[in-house]
Structure formats: C-alpha cells, structure tokens
Amino acid sequence: MYPREIKWCEECEECLSLVFFPKLELVLVESGGDKIPRKCGLSITKSDLLIINKIDIAEYVHASLNIMDCDSKMMRGEWPFVFANLYNGVGLEMIISFILERGMLPERRPEKLAETA
C-alpha cells in the first residue's frame, strides 16, 4: 500500500545484534540503562530513527537521560533520535512526523478516508 515498509525493532540490553533492514527502520530502546548507546550496535548507529522509550522510569533503573543524550549524539552523529514515553504520548508527535516525512507515508485526511471507505 505504501512505497516503503516500516520495520520496528524493539531491543533490550541482551539483544543488540540486529540485522539491518534496507527499508525504514525505527528502533525502540526500552529505558533499561544508559549503557545501550555506548554498545554501538547497528541498530544504534544505522537505524533511521532511534526511539529511547520509557524515559519516565529511567531514574528507577539508574539510567541517566543526560548520558543517553550525549552518547546518542556521539554514536549517531546527525542521525535523529527521540526520547519518548509512548504510554503517555511523550515524543509521539515527533515520531509520527518522522514517519510521514521520511517514511513517505501520506497524511490521512478525512476526505481521503471517506473516498477509500
């Protein structure tokens, strides 16, 4: 239906070796620690968008968002990343914008939805 397929990959500390998809890839990193960006796996360095999720629990797992920010900038260079708490919608707008702009997905308009119904 769409010109590009979106690949979501959810990773944790034990699962850092990831096959890189040639399509759009969004990597969702649980807030399991601030060492994950330092491990420099393909998902961290080559994904189109790195989503660092569950930022609301970072303090409970002794993870520093400042360290994750610095390390993500260092490891990713100009590649984008976003801090999110998707349960509460924090960061969701940026993720949706990224998918629409870079993923080449059309924005849904009520008149278009009515035509396809």
Per domain, the residue ranges of the chain are 6-11+22-116
Write the CATH number of the domain with boundaries 6-11+22-116.
Answer: 3.40.50.300
Work out the burial of residue 52: count CB atoms within 10 Å of its CB; fewer than 13 is exposed, 13-18 middle, 19 or more buried: buried
Instruction: Mean pLDDT check: name the lowest of 46-60, 83-97, 102-116.
Output: 102-116
The pLDDT, as a whole number, for residue 98 is 87
Contact between residue 18 and residue 9 where contact means Cβ atoms under 8 Å apart:
yes
Q: What confidence tens digit (pLDDT) does each residue in 61-87 have?
A: 888 999 889 988 988 888 899 999 989
Residue pLDDT, tens place only, 6-36 = 555 555 444 444 444 445 555 555 545 555 5
